[in-house]
Structure 1
Amino acid sequence: MNEPVLSLSGISKSYNRGTPGEVEVLRGLDLDLHAGEIVALVAPSGAGKSTLLHIAGLLDTPDTGQVRICGEDAGTRSDRGRTAVRRRDVGFVYQFHHLLPEFSARENIMLPQRANGTSADAARARADLLLDRVGIAARADHRPAALSGGEQQRVAFCRALANEPRLLLADEPTGNLDPATSGQVFDVLMELVAQTGLAALIATHNIELAARMDRVLRLDNGRLVDVAGPVHLA
């Protein structure tokens, strides 16, 4: 099998270390995620899903362990180096879209590209291509306030994929949507992953959506456990 897009080895993370209130969130956790693979991450609230995603995406650092992205030991790089890896190889989607309200859908997708040195014309063309892929090309000039919740989250997906990352990390990407819209938006996400061949790790409380992914991992006592059969959060 090809080298993993994301490889986590021996990841540990505690908060309030060295105090009576120390909380050990991750305990020697390991994970390999390959191109074209979409993996669900399930766990009760407060179990550490967001912490794991932030470490995987170089937004946080583990107490111990190694983070490799596309074969590179990214966790040991300088802050500037980590930022460069994030811009080049990692896309993020959150429960709330976090679109900039003063910019149109197209402009929100252009911004990360422009920050990465892409020309305005190329960034615009990429934004329009992505908006067409998710079925809202006609809404390109609308600002977030004029879009529905499902449309806003589709724009957020496009923004996450704007720089053609190798790794997509999503934290409850449909958690703020009603069930019908959640299913529709998830279909779009699955299609985008299939089209691009990237590796995706999706944290979700939605058991039905989790069951549709290639693998389901449960965060249990600070480690990841492969789930076979019915999925349970507890």
Structure 2
Amino acid sequence: MNKASPGAEMNDVTLKLDKIAKAYNVGKPNEVKVLHDVSLQVGQGEVVALVAPSGAGKSTLLHIAGLLDTPDTGTVSIGGEDFTNLGDRKRTAARRNDVGFIYQFHHLLPEFSALENIVLPQLANGIAQSDAEAHGMDLLARVGVADRASHRPAALSGGEQQRVAFCRAQANRPKLLLADEPTGNLDPATSDRVFGALMDLVRASGLSALIATHNLELAARMDRAVRLDQGRLSEGMTE
């Protein structure tokens, strides 16, 4: 297992969240405090399970980690660089280059094929089309759906759609993968197979990953687990 200890050197840490706090409707009667003093490190090549009940703040935490939202207090560093107070342009560039996102629903572009969904983010990042297509086919082959490359999302099964979404998230070779219940829409048997494909792809790429899941069996297959409950983070899957 690849574990980042609290004292790990910064260059061994892909994601560092330090004393993150977040609230909504601040100063109003309906103020909601979502995160309280959350600190977390994800080491290079480490896969961490984020176990949390509904409403615990996991989506907010993932959005802050992925630079889609900003904390009220605390800092967010990716690859040793503090992005907390940087401008929108640099944060957008980091999301495009350094972070891959996977959601419960695949969000593939319906008018494009599986391969085209993986090629497009690479083209937007300045990659030549031939190179983008070759990389896309390699990713599809790794998750076992290369033979579905020309099919549009509507012609794919739910498991195939999510595998393509995994490939798209890794198209630009990010440092960090963030996933929010990536197999939550699938039946148990399909979920197990698709999660295995995701883990194989992550391991082969040497990615660091923070994966939110309700499934304790899936969480146990990762390097370690942290639990978020009532806005507070602790090690392990149970209190």
Within 5 A, what are the aligned runs for 1:150-189?
A: 150-189=159-198
- Cα separation, 2, equivalents of 1:196 and 1:13: 32
C-alpha deviations, 1:13-72, integer Å up to 9, x for none?
001111011111111110100111111101110110000000000000101110000000
Is 1:135 aligned to residue 144 of structure 2? yes
Give the drift of 1:115.
Answer: 1.1
Q: Which of 213, 228, 232 is the aligned partner of 1:219?
A: 228
- TM-score after normalising by structure 2: 0.94
Matched residue, 2:70: 61
Deviation at 1:212, TM superposition (A): 1.3
- Report what 1:24 is aligned to: 33
Residue type of the partner of 1:121? S
Q: Map Cα deviations across residues 162-219 of structure 1 (whole Å, 9 max, x no partner).
A: 0000100000000000000000000011111111111100000111111111111000
Amino acid at match of 1:13: K
Q: Output the CA distance in 1 between the equivalents of 2:233 and 2:206.
A: 24
Task: Report the equivalent of 1:51.
Answer: 60
Q: 1:37–1:200: 8 Å Cα contact kept in structure 2?
A: yes
Deviations, residues 61-104 of structure 1 (Å, cap 9, x unaligned): 10111000000011221101001011111000000000000000
Q: Distance in 1 between matches of 2:68 and 2:167?
A: 20
- Count of residue pairs brought into register by the alignment: 230
Aligned-residue RMSD, C-alpha: 1.0
1:3 pairs with 2:16: no
Provide the residue aligned with 1:76 in structure 2.
85
Q: Which runs of 5+ in 1 are unaligned?
A: none
Match of 2:211 in 1: 202
Unpaired runs of 5+ residues, structure 2, are 1-7
Which of residues 200, 203, 206 is equivalent to 1:191? 200
Contact 2:57 2:230 in 1 (8 A): no
Could you tell me how far apart the structure 2 residues matched to 1:43 and 1:224 are?
A: 9
Task: Measure the CA separation in 1 of the matches of 2:125 and 2:46.
Answer: 26
Rounded to whole Å, the distance in 2 between the matches of 1:105 and 1:5 is 29
Question: Following TM superposition, where does structure 1 have runs of at least 4 consecutive aligned residues deviating by more than 6 angstroms?
Answer: none
CA contact (8 A) 1:106 1:127 kept: yes
Structure 1 residue 220: deviation in Å? 2.4
Alpha-carbon displacement from aligned partner over 1:138-182 (angstroms, at most 9, x marks no partner): 000000000000000000000000000010000000000000000
Q: Within the alignment, does 1:108 sit opposite 2:117 as a pair?
A: yes
Task: Return the letter of the residue paired with 1:80.
Answer: R
Structure 1: distance between partners of 2:52 and 2:97: 29
* 1:14 equivalenced with 2:17 (yes/no): no
The letter of the residue matching 1:88 is N
After TM superposition, give the deviation of residue 221 of structure 1 in Å. 2.9
Question: TM-score, normalised on structure 1?
Answer: 0.96
